[in-house]
């Protein structure tokens, strides 16, 4: 069993937006998939407990449990009774496919917000291009 070191755990900052159109359990699943795809979470890493995540994120434990159950059904995580929930080896294999899915969900959220704020398409494209260039120059992947 591999438990996340404090350094790796702080890199795994879950952000839940209750005002998003995306259900909270799906936001959590997307973020866990994201952390797998970028390597913050690896096979056999233990996830925080339902109770701990519920307290930290201030959301209902049943919502966390629902996300964990869906991920277990999808083969992303597995549970050892009395020990916790762990990232499966299958999760790393499917992470490339999930990267695009996670990215698509993020893009959908950005576009939805841009439309709400009445930001023209051209301006949004410029913002994305500028952000991409800044991240590349700053050493971001």
All structural domains of the chain? 2-137 (1.10.10.10)
Burial (CB < 10 A; 0-12, 13-18, 19+), residue 93, is exposed
pLDDT for 116? 95
pLDDT band at 94 (very low <50, low <70, confident <90, very high): low
Query: What pLDDT is attached to residue 21?
Result: 86
42 close to 8: Cβ distance less than 8 angstroms: no
Q: What is the dihedral of CA 139, 136, 34, 100, to 10 degrees?
A: -150
Q: Evaluate the CA torsion angle 8, 104, 30, 1 in order and state its sign.
A: negative
Mean predicted confidence (pLDDT) in 127-134: 93
**Segment 20-60, tens digit of pLDDT:** 889 999 999 989 988 888 888 999 999 999 999 999 999 99
49-74 pLDDT tens trace: 999 999 999 999 999 999 999 999 99
How large is the average pLDDT for residues 67-86? 95
Structure tokens of 92? 């790393």
Residue 5 has pLDDT above 70, yes or no: no
The answer to whether the predicted template modeling score (pTM) of the entire model surpasses 0.75 is: no
Token pair belonging to 71: 């991920």
């Amino acid at each position: 069993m591999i438990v996340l070191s404090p350094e790796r755990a702080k890199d795994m900052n879950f952000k839940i937006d209750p005002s998003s159109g995306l259900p909270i359990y799906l936001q959590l699943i997307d973020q866990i998939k994201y952390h797998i795809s970028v390597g913050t979470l690896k096979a056999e890493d233990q996830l925080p407990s339902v109770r701990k995540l519920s307290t930290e994120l201030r959301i209902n434990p049943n919502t966390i449990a629902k996300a964990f159950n869906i991920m277990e059904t999808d083969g992303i995580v597995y549970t050892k009774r009395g020990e916790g929930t762990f990232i499966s080896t299958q999760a790393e294999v499917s992470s490339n496919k999930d990267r695009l899915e996670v990215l698509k969900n993020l893009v959908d959220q950005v576009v939805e917000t841009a439309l709400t704020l009445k930001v023209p398409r051209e301006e949004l494209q410029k913002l994305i291009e500028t952000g991409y260039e800044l991240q590349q120059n700053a050493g971001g992947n």
